Amino acid sequence: MEQLYERDFSRWAETMADLLAAGDFTSLDIENLVEEVRDLSKRERDRLLSSLRLILHHFLNWDYQPQKRSRSWQNTIDRERNNIELYLEDSPSLQRYLNDGVSLAKMYRLARADAIRETDLDFPKDCLYDMEDVLSRVISLGE
């Protein structure tokens, strides 16, 4: 099974699912199966945090470049908020990453770096936004 995991991940995953469905637990590639299940959780967390990062990035663009505000930025913020809502609906335990304060600060640092690379502007080092802003701040082109 180890060789199949290295050669053809998709086939390995199908084989693991078939073995689980058949109740054949002795043939399972337990070591890699455990690793993949753990990675599933990380991927869900990463998707949530990626949405958070993108919202923060667009907030910085929005707040510091009012002359360049666009419907595209607004749509991206709305889309990523919807994504966060869906992620939390599917996996409510992800809420802890929105409540810990650490994730917001970390994603702000990354979003700030993205915005600096994109604009050559400087932005405050400390996060200007709280989770309430991220999830519900109303923005419109008329601001």
Sequence ranges of the domains in the chain: 43-136
- Those residues of the chain that have pLDDT short of 70 are 142-143
pLDDT, position 143 = 62
If we measure between CA atoms, which residue out of 87, 79, 77 comes closest to residue 55?
A: 77
pLDDT, position 73 = 95
Instruction: With residue 26 as reference, give the H or E element that holds it.
Output: none
CA distance 51 to 140: 19
User: Do 33 and 16 meet the contact criterion of CB atoms below 8 Å apart?
Assistant: yes
Tokens representing 96 are 């802890």
pLDDT, position 101 = 86
pLDDT, position 139 = 85
